[in-house]
Amino acid sequence: MTSATTTPLVPARAGASLAALLALAAAGFAGLVERPGSVASAVVAGLASALAAGWLARRLATVAVLGGPVRAAAAAAVALIAAATAAVGSGAAALSAGDGVLAALSSTGAALVLGLLVTTPAATALLVPGARARVAGTRPVPAARGTTRRGFLQAGAGSVASAAVAGAAARGLVPDEAAAVARPFRLKITEGDITMVDGSPVFFRGFTTPDGTVPQLPGPPLGNPGPLPANPEITEGEPVRVHITNDTPRDHTFLIDRAGDEGATDPVVGPVRIPANTTTPVEISFTAPAAGTYIYRDADRNNRLLGMHGVMVVLPRAAGQNRPYAPGPDRLEIPAEVVLQFVWCVHGVDPVLGELARERFRDSVIDYPLESFLPRYFFINGKNGTEALHDESTVPVLPMQDATAAQVGCLIRCVNTGVATHALHWHGNHVFVLQRNAVPARPGLVFEKDVLRLDALQRIDVLLPAHTGLDAWPMLTPDHPKFADQVFPMHCHSEMSQTAGGGLYPMGMLTDWHLAGGSVPASGSVPVNGSTPAVEQVRTRLAEQRAAIRRSRSARGRRMRLSVSPSPAPARAGRTTRFRFRTTTVMGGRRRAVRGARIRFGGRTVRTDRTGRAAVRVRFARAGRVRARVTRSGYRTLTRIVRIGRGR
Amino acid sequence: MPSSTLVLDSRRALLAVIAAAWAGALAGAVLLAWPSPGGGSGAAPRVETRTDAAPAPGLGRRIPVSFGSLSVDSASRLTGPRRAAGLRLRRGDLPLQVAVTFVNTSSRTVRFSPSLFRLLPAAGTPAIAATGGDLAEQRVGARRARRFVLRFAVPGSARQLPDLEVRDPAAGTRTAVPLGTRRALPSFDHVGHTTGPDGRAHP
Residues 187-246 of A with CB under 8 A from B: 191-193, 195, 197-201, 203, 214, 245-246
Average pLDDT, chain B: 78
Do A110 and A30 contact (CB within 8 A), yes or no?
Answer: yes
Fill in the amino acid letter for B121.
P
**A630 interfacial to chain B (CB closer than 8 Å):** no
Do A137 and A318 contact (CB within 8 A), yes or no?
Answer: no
Number of alpha carbons in the 13 Å side-chain half-sphere of residue B185: 24
Please give the distance of CA A217 from its chain centroid, rounded to a whole number.
Answer: 11
User: Residue A93: its pLDDT value, please?
Assistant: 62
User: Residue A8: its pLDDT value, please?
Assistant: 44
- Among A249, A226, A266, A212, which Cα is nearest to A398's? A226
Distance separating alpha carbons of residues A433 and A438, to the nearest angstrom: 12
- Among A407, A621, A624, A413, which Cα is nearest to A535's? A407
- Name all contacts of B7-11 with Cβ < 8 Å and 24+ positions apart: B7/A6, B7/A63, B7/A64, B7/A66, B8/A63, B8/A64, B8/A65, B8/A66, B8/A73, B9/A1, B9/A66, B10/A1, B11/A1, B11/A68, B11/A69
User: Residue B158: its pLDDT value, please?
Assistant: 80
- Among A381, A352, A357, A178, which Cα is nearest to A252's? A357
User: Residue A228: its pLDDT value, please?
Assistant: 65
Residues 108-167 of B with CB under 8 A from A: 120, 122-123, 143-147, 159-160, 163
Distance separating alpha carbons of residues A315 and B77, to the nearest angstrom: 51
Residues 78-97 of B with CB under 8 A from A: none
Distance separating alpha carbons of residues A612 and A610, to the nearest angstrom: 5
Bigger pLDDT: B73 or B158?
B73
Is the per-residue pLDDT at B180 higher than 60? yes
**A99 interfacial to chain B (CB closer than 8 Å):** no
User: Residue A393: its pLDDT value, please?
Assistant: 87
State the smallest CA–CA distance between residue A16 and chain B in angstroms: 15
Pick from A80, A352, A555: CB nearest B103: A352
**A496 interfacial to chain B (CB closer than 8 Å):** no
Pick from A64, A76, A549: CB nearest B7: A64
Pick from A8, A146, A200: CB nearest B3: A146
Interchain pair A80, B24: CB under 8 A: yes
- Among A274, A308, A284, which Cα is nearest to A206's? A308
User: Residue A102: its pLDDT value, please?
Assistant: 63
Which chain A residues touch B21 with a CB distance below 8 Å?
A: 75-77, 79-80, 116, 119-120, 123
Q: A271 forms bridges with which residues in the sheet?
A: none
Do A543 and A607 contact (CB within 8 A), yes or no?
Answer: no
Low-confidence residues in chain A, pLDDT < 50: 1-10, 32-44, 61-68, 98, 130-181, 555
**B73 interfacial to chain A (CB closer than 8 Å):** yes
User: Residue A305: its pLDDT value, please?
Assistant: 95
User: Residue A65: its pLDDT value, please?
Assistant: 43
User: Residue B177: its pLDDT value, please?
Assistant: 92
Which chain A residues touch B20 with a CB distance below 8 Å?
A: 76, 80
Average pLDDT on B16-25 reads 84
Largest CA distance in chain A: 109
pLDDT (tens digit, 9 = 90+) per residue, B103-147? 999 999 999 999 999 999 877 788 899 888 888 888 999 999 999
**A121 interfacial to chain B (CB closer than 8 Å):** yes
Lowest mean pLDDT among A349-353, B8-12, B39-43, B66-70: B39-43
Element (H, E) at A599: strand A598-601
Q: Where are the beta strands (DSSP E) in A517-560?
A: none
Do B70 and B87 contact (CB within 8 A), yes or no?
Answer: no
User: Residue A387: its pLDDT value, please?
Assistant: 83
**A427 interfacial to chain B (CB closer than 8 Å):** no
Interchain pair B200, A197: CB under 8 A: yes
State the smallest CA–CA distance between residue B77 and chain A in angstroms: 14
Interchain pair A64, B145: CB under 8 A: no
Residues 351-380 of A with CB under 8 A from B: 351-352, 355-356, 358-359, 361-362, 368, 372, 374, 376
Sheet holding A201-208, edge to edge: A201-208, A185-195, A239-246, A278-287
**B101 interfacial to chain A (CB closer than 8 Å):** yes
User: Residue A357: its pLDDT value, please?
Assistant: 93
- The question of ipTM being above 0.85 is answered as no
Distance separating alpha carbons of residues A565 and A571, to the nearest angstrom: 9
- Among A641, A630, A629, which Cα is nearest to A585's? A630
Provide the phi-psi class of A603: left if phi over 0, else alpha when psi is between -120 and 50, else beta.
left
Interchain pair B18, A34: CB under 8 A: no
Interchain pair A282, B44: CB under 8 A: no
Bigger pLDDT: B14 or A399?
A399
